[in-house]
Amino acid sequence: MRIGHEIFAIIKELCALGPRWMGREGAMNARNYIVEQFNIVGLKTELQSFSYLSYEPRYASIMIADRELQCEPIAYSTSTIQPLTAPLIYCGHCTEKEIASLKARGAKLNKSILLSDNLRSFVAYPIAEAAGALGFISLTSLQDNTIRCGCARNDRKLGNIPAVSIGGVDGREIVQRLKSEEIIEATIQLNGQIEEREGENVIGIKPGNSNSRILITAHYDSFWNGVHAMDNGAGTATIISLARSMLHESETAFEFVAFGGEELGFWGSTGYVERHRKSLSDIIAVINLDNFGSKLSQLEIGATADLLDFCRLTAEENKISIDCWNTPPRVASDQHVFVEEGVPAIWIANCGADPRYHTPLDVPAEMSPEKLEAVATLAFEFAKRLS
């Protein structure tokens, strides 16, 4: 398991740089670290700038039934000018269906703050907002009171209502009380600074014998509340390791791309696609690695329909069993912007099996060299066979 341990070692170095939130020092140090690693491998390294809207959390507080709870702001939600006070309504996963059924029962959504246990704030928040809610609260599914960070949307647009995340212990207690018909008020105060800024992707280039190229990609940024080993120290470390092993393996051109700004809605990959719009048809495939390799992880492949049989066969021949499949890949990482442009793409992820992502519990000690190695082997085989 040499490769698994090698990747694990890179993850530890990367995580030692601290959280990699865009606009802060940790992200800058990670970017420099990747440049250094690509240079050591012997790739030609390029920094590709892209503009994005940064979010800097300044202040967040929530009082529920006169008790102050710990919370994190949801990125891209709106700052409050005055404290927002309104009664809470529990909306479950906050799906269109649940909203419709609340409305049918006469719930005054447009005078309330909605409380949801949907893990994907970027899915639930826009629905709460469209339902006319005044504010939004997300609670995590973890057994303790650890808080998960999240973004209000994933389409690079800003939300129009304030929103915070709270812990599962606090959240579930409130849900119980709401279920027993108690009326509970919440007060949210929030301040986050949104600014247009420049970020950078790191591209490591291995030249080839034609214009056709394969992209192996991973985002290097993380939320501000932890070092986030699986999301996505794992992907970043794996593309560095793959660059080492791929260098003399093929005549085909490769680009190893570490994207910035993924957590705020795929800004780096969007910037890449805008830059290369005229030559996107030269991309044989994008292999994107995001969120995998922890002890609780399962193995997931998301693939565009044109690559599905290829992926099945490759996994089978390498005796790697896949726990879940998605066609096309779920809209939750950088491959999405390529899929939208018709570029064949594969995403290796973890079936959503580890709920600790976006929390301070996503640390190197929870990573599994064995699971990291399985992903690296799979990605290497995909790359080799596609080239």
Q: Which two tokens stand for residue 3?
A: 């490769």
Q: Which residue has the tokens 């080239």?
A: 387
Is residue 124 within 8 A of residue 136, CB to CB? The reply is yes
CB of 180 to Zn ion, least distance (A): 38
Nearest residue (CB) to Zn ion, 6 versus 231: 231
Is residue 218 within 8 A of residue 258, CB to CB? The reply is yes
Burial of 202 (0-12, 13-18, 19+ CB in 10 A): buried
CB of 256 to Zn ion, least distance (A): 17
Look at strands 84-90 and 113-116 and give their pairing: parallel
CB of 319 to Zn ion, least distance (A): 27
Nearest residue (CB) to Zn ion, 290 versus 373: 290
Specify the amino acid at residue 243: A
Nearest residue (CB) to Zn ion, 111 versus 295: 295
CB of 266 to Zn ion, least distance (A): 10
Nearest residue (CB) to Zn ion, 22 versus 133: 22
Look at strands 44-64 and 185-206 and give their pairing: antiparallel
Nearest residue (CB) to Zn ion, 152 versus 284: 152
Specify the amino acid at residue 201: N
Is residue 100 within 8 A of residue 211, CB to CB? The reply is no
Neighbouring C-beta atoms of residue 116, cutoff 10 Å: 28
CB neighbour list of residue 180: distance below 8 Å, 6 or more residues apart: none
What burial letters (b/e) apply to 14-41, b meaning 16+ CB within 10 Å?
Answer: bbebbbbbbbeebbbebbebbbebbeeb
CB of 258 to Zn ion, least distance (A): 12
Q: Phi then psi for 223, rounded to 5 degrees?
A: -70, 170
CB of 316 to Zn ion, least distance (A): 27
Nearest residue (CB) to Zn ion, 135 versus 355: 355
Nearest residue (CB) to Zn ion, 98 versus 231: 231
CB of 346 to Zn ion, least distance (A): 16
Nearest residue (CB) to Zn ion, 129 versus 290: 290
Can you tell me the distance from the alpha carbon of 333 to that of 235, in angstroms, rounded to the nearest whole number?
12
First-to-last alpha carbon distance for the chain, in angstroms, is 25
Nearest residue (CB) to Zn ion, 132 versus 360: 360
The residue ranges that bind Zn ion (CB under 5 A) are: 231-232, 290-291
Nearest residue (CB) to Zn ion, 156 versus 384: 156
CB neighbour list of residue 74: distance below 8 Å, 6 or more residues apart: 121, 125, 136, 138, 149, 150, 151, 152, 159, 163, 164, 165
Can you tell me the distance from the alpha carbon of 107 to that of 273, in angstroms, rounded to the nearest whole number?
43
CB of 134 to Zn ion, least distance (A): 30
Is residue 233 within 8 A of residue 285, CB to CB? The reply is no
CB of 262 to Zn ion, least distance (A): 6
CB of 147 to Zn ion, least distance (A): 18
